[in-house]
């Protein structure tokens, strides 16, 4: 284990056994998930251009992340909003990677803050259940913590390279990736460390974070908003829940299935192979 996805940690607060089965058997894409991805892509295209690239190596993957941080922070400075902003950070020595749905400038009277916005989609117009809201609030707090950490320079260039198992003195960009960008691989390798430095420097310049996180739900059928809530980042709760979640990734305990909320199993793509359902 090198990097833990922020979205996978958030799913633990819905059903940790589902996270474990996804790791073992791969992702099962439901129609709801596919439609949700399409909506998020359309939201991104409202404000950004998407350039397809071919990623072959860890260095390729990191370069995409670094590039998107630089572009995203520049867009935020110009427009007061950006979407799908990558954050790479540590919690208790574990590297975590996430992509924030949106950050937006908020405030008035010349005093502005940066607000983390988490957007979810639903197949029905019904309000989300308390269990769903709880899971999604945790995801928003993970992103808030990650962005706060990067603003306060909580990760170094050396740690960034270590997370992707890259030797900063021997960076290897694939020819396939370089060709998809139309830039020689040797040039990308030559500017790589400077690009990481620029990304960390620019994200650290973002305005102070608002302590309030916005969570909103969109109806997949029409795109209309059906529910929204603002809540504050809770340091004590976050630390407690993250330590519990990361114990699983660190191999300190097995995955825990849902207990009281067994109704969730009806909607799970892994119910036919889940040992807790049998």
Whether 275 maps to a domain, the answer reads no
Contact 171, 59 (CB under 8 A): yes
How would you class 165 by CB atoms within 10 Å of its CB: exposed for 0-12, middle for 13-18, buried for 19 or more?
exposed
Whether 6 maps to a domain, the answer reads no
Domain count, the chain: 1
Whether 120 maps to a domain, the answer reads yes
Look at residue 278 and tell me whether its pLDDT is greater than 80. Answer: no
Distance CA 5, CA 188 (A): 26
Whether 167 maps to a domain, the answer reads yes
What local confidence, expressed as pLDDT, does residue 67 receive?
96
Q: What is the DSSP string of 243-269?
A: HHHHHHHTTSS-----STTGGGGGG-T
Whether 272 maps to a domain, the answer reads no
Backbone φ/ψ region at 26: left (φ over 0), alpha (ψ -120 to 50), beta: left
pLDDT tens digits for range 33-64 = 888 888 888 888 888 888 889 999 999 999 99
Whether 5 maps to a domain, the answer reads no
Q: What DSSP element (H or E) covers 148?
A: helix 130-151
pLDDT-derived band at 255, boundaries 50, 70, 90? very high
Whether 10 maps to a domain, the answer reads no
pLDDT tens digits for range 144-159 = 999 999 999 999 999 9
Q: What is the DSSP string of 79-105?
A: HSEEEEEEEEEEETTEEEEEEEEEEEE
Q: Name the residue range of residue 222's domain.
A: 15-267
């Amino acid at each position: 284990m090198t990097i833990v996805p922020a979205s996978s940690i958030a799913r633990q607060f819905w059903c940790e056994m589902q996270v474990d089965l996804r790791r073992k058997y791969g992702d099962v894409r439901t129609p709801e998930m596919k439609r949700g991805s399409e909506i998020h892509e359309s939201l991104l295209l409202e404000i950004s251009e998407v350039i397809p690239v071919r990623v072959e190596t860890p260095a390729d993957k990191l370069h995409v992340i670094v590039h998107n941080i630089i572009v995203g922070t520049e867009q935020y400075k110009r427009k007061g909003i950006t979407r799908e902003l990558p954050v790479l950070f540590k919690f208790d020595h574990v590297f975590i990677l996430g992509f924030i749905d949106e950050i937006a400038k908020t405030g008035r009277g010349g005093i502005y803050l940066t607000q983390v916005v988490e957007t979810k989609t639903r197949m029905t117009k019904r309000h989300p259940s308390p269990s769903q809201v709880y899971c999604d609030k945790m995801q928003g707090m993970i992103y808030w913590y990650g962005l706060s950490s990067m603003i306060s320079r909580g990760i170094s260039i050396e740690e960034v390279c270590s997370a992707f198992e890259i030797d900063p003195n021997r960076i290897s960009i694939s020819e396939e990736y370089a060709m998809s960008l139309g830039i020689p691989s040797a040039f990308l390798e030559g500017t790589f460390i400077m690009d990481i430095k620029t990304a960390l420097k620019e994200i650290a310049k973002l305005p102070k974070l608002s302590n309030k996180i916005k969570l909103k739900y969109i109806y997949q059928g029409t795109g209309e908003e059906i529910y929204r809530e603002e809540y504050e980042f809770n340091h004590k709760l976050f630390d407690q829940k993250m330590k519990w979640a990361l114990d699983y990734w660190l191999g300190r305990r097995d995955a825990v299935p849902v207990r009281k909320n067994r109704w969730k199993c009806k909607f799970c793509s892994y119910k036919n192979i889940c040992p807790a359902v049998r």
